[in-house]
Structure 1
Amino acid sequence: MGKEAPSPLRYQLNLFKRDMIKIRKAKETDFEDIWDIFHQIVKRGDTFAFDPEAPKEDCRTLWMSSSVHTYVAEFQNKILGTYILRKNQPGLGAHVANAAYMVHPEARWQGIGKAMGSQSIKQAKKQGFSAIQFNFVVSTNIVAIQLWLKLGFKIVGTVPKAFNHQKLGFVDIYIMHRFV
């Protein structure tokens, strides 16, 4: 039996090309690519609390709203990841940021999440936030948890059985935090 041909969408970024990942503010014209990433990630039901069948307009409301700063990670004019940065709470909690990140499934393990995470910490500081807090990190999302720990986040709380994982049932979520 022969080897299966690699997916044409699978991105292989060697160590030299990782420096070529460009992270920039998203434009309205990026929305279809953002939607593609959002839809592929959310439909799995294993890392985000969004409805796995969330329609495109829900993504537009969440990701392209004027109350969020939306960024994309681009390599050779192809959007491979996206993140949002916003106030975690209004008013007296507005000094703490909240963020959410998604990497195209075909571009995982290429340093894109780390690049977006590192850049978002700088952006949060630049925008006047004193910290970033993740309110809902699914405890089974080990890759993300390890990345956030490497980037200086700490688990500051656990909410038991708060996420209904599509394959594992109810699992814990973590609240993670770091000062910027």
Structure 2
Amino acid sequence: MEIRTFEESDWPSAWPFMEQIIREGDTFCYDPLQTEAEAREMWLVPPPGHTVVAVEDRRVIGTSNMYPNRPGPGSHIAGGNFMVAPEARGRGVGRALGGYLLDWARGHGFAGVQFNAVAASNAPALKLYGHLGFAVIGTVPGAFRHPVLGPVGLHVMYHDLAPARG
């Protein structure tokens, strides 16, 4: 598997699995009814952000974006998202994309990485983020309307990138 910078020609391969994930409405705080154009504009972040794809046998099997989490005084903390094609799950794609995001953030001098809204019901993501070193630092009760479970919490997760002291 190769992780590389997103190219215009990657969108037609990434959009079908991204659309499926978005339309299911059970993991991301994205409007399940958004158009392809709206999703594309949201996902393909402008510099200083960065968007990548995971490719295997010339097939896009995952994608991630990364960026300053907030502007101005909050711009020293990175944020990001990643999606993995359903048929590629359980094969380390998410872990590789997460590792890439952390390396990108370190390399660009960010002090940490914050995920603003991780559905408490998204057990696979929570497990992966824990393995990558993220911790839940807060939960907004009932802030995510899961299509089957109803209101569930939204976690704020954080990974400190500051060098170890001592």
Say whether the fold is shared (TM-score over 0.5): yes
Contact 2:45 2:67 in 1 (8 A): no
Alignment length, in residue pairs?
160
The 2-side partners of 1:167 and 1:132 are apart by 30
Aligned to 2:164: none
Per-residue deviation at 1:37?
A: 2.2
CA distance in 2, matches of 1:41, 1:54: 12
Cα distance in 1 between the residues matched to 2:102 and 2:73: 21
Give the distance between the partners of 1:76 and 1:49, measured in 2 at CA. Answer: 31
Aligned pair partner of 1:54 in 34, 59, 62: 34
Question: What code does the residue aligned with 2:87 have?
Answer: E
Q: 2:17 aligns with which of 37, 62, 74?
A: 37
The answer (yes or no) to whether the contact 1:85–1:98 under 8 Å persists in 2 is: yes
Corresponding residue number in structure 1 for 2:65:
84
- TM-fit CA distance, 1:128: 1.8
Contact 1:40 1:105 survives alignment (8 Å): no
Instruction: Name the residue aligned to 1:168.
Output: 149
**C-alpha RMSD over aligned residues:** 1.0
Cα separation, 1, equivalents of 2:104 and 2:45: 18
Q: What are structure 2's unaligned runs of at least 5 residues?
A: 162-166
Find the residue that maps to 2:110 and give its secondary structure: coil
| CA radius of gyration, larger in | 1
Question: 1:108 maps to which residue?
Answer: 89
Q: 1:65 Cα shift? A: 3.4
- After superposing on structure 2, the runs of 4+ consecutive aligned residues of structure 1 that deviate more than 2 Å are none
User: Is the counterpart of residue 71 in structure 1 residue 49 in structure 2?
Assistant: no
SS of the residue corresponding to residue 24 of structure 2 reads coil
Cα distance in 2, alignment partners of residues 24 and 76 from structure 1: 13
Equivalents in 2 of 1:171, 1:66: separation in Å?
31
Q: For residues 34-89 of structure 1, what are the alpha-carbon distances to aligned partners after superposition, in whole Å with 9 as ceiling and x for unaligned?
A: 21221011111100111112210111111123243101000010000000001110
Seq. identity, %: 38
* Cα distance in structure 1, aligned partners of 2:55 and 2:73: 35
